[in-house]
Amino acid sequence: MLILVAGVGLLMLFPFWIAVINAFKPAPDYIANGPVSLPTDLDFSALADFWTGVDFNRKLLNSVVISGSVALIAVALSLLSAFAIGIGRIRGRVWILALFMLAFTIPQEALVYPLFVLTRDLGLYDTMTGVIIILAVLQSAFGTYMLSSVLGAFPRRCWRRPGSTAPPASRRSGSSSCRSPGRRWRCW
């Protein structure tokens, strides 16, 4: 069984190996020996041409800015809404979670045209801000669903009531942690 897994792993890595050895192979070597042979000497000119030709530094910076911003905004949105749903025990909690679950099951391809029209009308078309806002909102649906489930399972006695200055019940009884089946939650 282990030999079979190793064989499948090698088959999966083979295309990456071909891409790596051909990235450093000079064109005459590729023509003479084919794509599977090892390069006779290393040639970095193709990588350098690609790096400068497509302005890779700018694309890398855009990726870092967009992904970092989307992650921070989506987590903030998800945490705020999940706290209200999970801890706040609002009325209709199950229906709201069902709505969030439905939202992240819709294929993103089905949203392309409506989002295009929306960003165009708001003047955010072809801007980094428009991409960040759309991706953050799309990602926050799943984050809200997941975090509200986690926060909803958190032992209620470990939280203070809003506006209360009294310590939680576990602290008043002298214990320093709450027990939950299979988990250990820390309370103040």
pLDDT tens digit sequence for 75-116:
999 999 888 888 877 888 888 888 888 887 888 889 889 999
The letter for the amino acid at 158 is C
- Which tokens belong to 86? 């999970």
What is the rounded average pLDDT of the residues 5-24?
A: 93
Contact residues for 178 (Cβ-Cβ < 8 A; gap 6+): 155, 157, 158, 170, 184, 185, 186, 187
What is the rounded average pLDDT of the residues 142-159?
A: 80
pLDDT at 188: 46
pLDDT at 12 over 90: yes
- Which tokens belong to 13? 């890595």
C-alpha to C-alpha distance for 170 and 156, rounded to whole angstroms: 10
| pLDDT band (50, 70, 90) for residue 10 | very high
C-alpha to C-alpha distance for 60 and 118, rounded to whole angstroms: 27
Question: How far, in Å, are 119, 154, 178 from residue 88 at the CA level?
Answer: 33, 12, 19
- Which tokens belong to 32? 């003479």
Per cent of the chain over pLDDT 90 is 35
Question: How far, in Å, are 30, 116, 173, 187 from residue 129 at the CA level?
Answer: 43, 14, 50, 39
